[in-house]
Structure formats: structure tokens, C-alpha cells
Structure 1
């Protein structure tokens, strides 16, 4: 795992350099089949990551946002070279490089690098979570009225009963924010935020962040309470006590 972590951090640094070269420059933006934007920065950053991982672990499989899945192995690397491309395009710093390793369907290592913030978070199973050189720990909170909540994209919640649940959280929480992408997860891991709620995600967006939150003492599942996997489409992340409270209230409202 330590070798994998070292390789992932080298790969993230290489992708950081590519992305920062293009950040806030003039970019041609294309639209993919799923209507999401993509730029040369996304593709070159992913190529840099794949090159480094491939040199060190040629037998591992890789699944990336821009070039898809290659190889078949019990060891699968999950890559989003620029998670938050819309922010990247608009010159906002809320984007990051996401690299995770899954072994036998379990997420075991994650690196989340946000070069525009000069911030990198990483974690390995059983080794704790770190942000730059600081040990990261979630804040123990068991009352929603004392909690700061970060919402991500909630589009799919707006059309079902969980929208009422989201409204209840807004009404009862101490504070709600909508930072988006990596930022809320990093703040949750270090105890500066108390929960992150998102829908309309995929595993490449949150794989590394799931390991980081877990190793910081938090719990990350989807909104049904299932652990993160290749089919994950939503996120509920919080300290253990608050996570259980939020999950129970979600189920109570949505039936």
C-alpha cells in the first residue's frame, strides 16, 4: 500500500502540473455524450496519471473519466483527472485530481489533490487520513442543530420525496453551504465541516474521498446506506453519530 500511495501521489503531482498549466487560460471546451464538459487539460492530466501508474503497476486495471477502463485485475485504479471541470473552466479553484485504488471491490487508498488550494489529502486503509502534513479527524457531532452541512449537486433529489428531507436539514442545521466537489470532503475530514450530501455523482468522483473520510473517522455511504462501490450515485458522509441520524431521517421521509 505504501508503494501504491507513493505512486499515486507522484501521479497526482504530474496531473497537478498539467492542470495548473491550463488553469485560467483560454480553453476550447467540448461536450461529451453525457453532456458534461471536457478540455485538453482533462485528457492530458489523465494521460499523465495513466503513464505513471502503468509504469509501476502494468498488471493493474485502470478506469478513468476520459479514457475509460483498460485491463482486468483484482487491483483497479479509479481516476478523475479534473473532478470539477465546470469550476476549472470558469476559473474557480473548486476542482481536484482524484486517484484511488480498489482491491477486490474494496477501496483501500485514495489521493485527492487540489493544486489551486495547495492542498493534498490522502489515506490508506488502517493508516489514518492526512491533509498536507496534518492528521485529519472528523469532529464528533450528534445533533443536527450543531452541524455544518455541505450540499453538492442535488438535482436527482428534487424530483422525489428526499427533497423534503433536504429541506428539513436546511431548516434544522446550524449552517448549510454548497462548496461542491472535493472541498466539503476535505473540510469534513479535518473537522471543519460536519456532513456532505450529494446526488448525481459517480465512483470516480468520490472513491479517493471515501477512503479519506473513512480513515479520518467518518462514515461515507450512499443515501440508501450502502458502502461506496462502482455503481454509487449519491453520498451521505458524516461523523458516525450524525450519519446514522441523517440516514434514519432520510429513510423515514422517503419510505
Structure 2
């Protein structure tokens, strides 16, 4: 399948929900809960995914769609990974750090992806030829060691604290001490896009789903950065700009790096 056509379709689907998300942003939409009170969902998550599915299915009938809200449907190629709002808690409370993430895989390999920031209208795209932001090539380059670097993370999550206990807090403390700055912005896909663009230097998280990381992982790799972990399976992930000294980093002790 042609990666350019897949990317164009993903971009069309992402843009299709931009007006709705911008209009609903800072309207304080009603929030429902999925797993627990740390895991919110709004009517706009579900409606946006329905719109995205409609575009994808119209262009590639019968293809598989794996969505955060609607689960897995279809039986053919390509396989689409869709997060209609990555960073729902931010979106629902009025913090301008969330995005739409769509990736396409063929024969088990990621071939196209977009991370779309509807507030800033930034489109981070990746395919065989490279990675771009709003059509301009991006390069994943920046700091080479912790003390110069900005780390974006979602660790420790409530589940991490439940599983790791005090060690989770100690690990986070080591990161805070080692890095020039540590930030928890709240959107995995947008964090990865920023590392791809060289706007941040590293990102680490646990228990990610493919719809969280697939597009961002492709962005990082196509921009010349490093992504560790399997973006098409649930699990931990670690990404950094090209040239970063991971072996000397506080991140070297994470499970994903050991693998």
C-alpha cells in the first residue's frame, strides 16, 4: 500500500475533528469515568473517534481500526491505531495540551502517522520519506546528557505507584535530580511529537497502548531519534533525540532500556 495515500487519509481524518475539538475546548464538558477517576472520557472523545472511523472506512473499506474508544473492528489491511483525544484530562479541564493521534501499519510495520494538535493547528506527520511539522522537515536532535535535557514523562502513574510503591517515587526522584527539567504535560503522543521535533529531549512512560504511541514512535524514528519499546503492543516506552547518551542517563535503569 502507498504510504503517502495512507498518510493523506490519516491527515484528512485528523483534520475532520479539529473544528469540533476547538469549539468544545474550555467548555468544561461533562466527564465520565472508564477504569477509575484518573481515566476520564467525554462525549467528544467518542464523537471524534466516530468521525475518524468514518473517514478511514470510506477510504479503506474493511481495514482494521483499533481505537481507544471503539475497540478493534475490521479484518483487512491496513491496521489503523486511533486515539481521538490523547490527553483527555487536559482537554476536559481546559489545558491546551492534547492531540489527535492516528497511525497506519501494514504487515505489522508502521508506515504512516500523524499527531495533530488542534489548538495550535500543528500537524506532525511521518512516512517513509521522513518526518515533518506543518510540511517542514523536523529533526530529533538536542541535548546529549541528562543535566542539559528536558524529560517529558507520565511516570509514575497511579498504577505505577500501586505496583512499584516507594521504588516508584525513588525512581522519579532520581529523574528529577538528574535532568535539567522534568515535565508531566499529560499527552503521550504529543510528548513524542515534541521529541521528534527536538523541542524536548526524552520521554518515558509505562503501560502505554498502541493508539497512544504508534504515530509518535514513527515520528521519532523518522526524524532520527530513538524509540525503545514495541509501539504495536501494550507496554513501557522510552524515546530520546538522536545523539543522547542513554547509557549514562538516569533512564538507563528503566525496564524498557534493559530490554
Query: Which of the five TM-score ranges fits, normalised by the shorter chain?
Result: 0.7 to 0.9
**TM-score w.r.t. length of structure 1:** 0.88
> Partner residue of 2:4?
2
- Deviation track 1:63-110 (CA, whole Å, cap 9, x = no partner) reads 111111111224210101111111111011111111111222222211
Contact preservation (8 Å) 1:153, 1:200? no
Give the distance between the partners of 1:252 and 1:97, measured in 2 at CA: 25
Q: Secondary structure at the match of 1:235?
A: strand
- Deviation track 1:113-163 (CA, whole Å, cap 9, x = no partner) reads 111122110101x31111113211111543222211112242244443465
Matches within 5 A, 1:101-180: 101-124=104-127, 126-155=128-157, 156-158=159-161, 159-160=163-164, 161=167, 163-180=169-186
Q: 1:15 aligns with which of 14, 17, 27?
A: 17
> Partner residue of 1:86?
89
> Partner residue of 1:30?
32
Check 1:196–1:108 CA distance in 2 against 1; reply closer, same or farther (3 A cut). Answer: same
- Calculate the aligned-residue CA RMSD, in Å: 2.4
Contact preservation (8 Å) 1:138, 1:218? yes
Q: Secondary structure at the match of 2:17?
A: helix
Q: How many residues align?
A: 249
> Partner residue of 2:66?
63
4+ aligned runs moved over 3 Å, structure 1: 156-159, 161-166, 246-249, 251-255
**TM-score w.r.t. length of structure 2:** 0.87
Q: Secondary structure at the match of 1:180?
A: coil
Contact preservation (8 Å) 2:207, 2:234? no
Q: Secondary structure at the match of 1:248?
A: helix
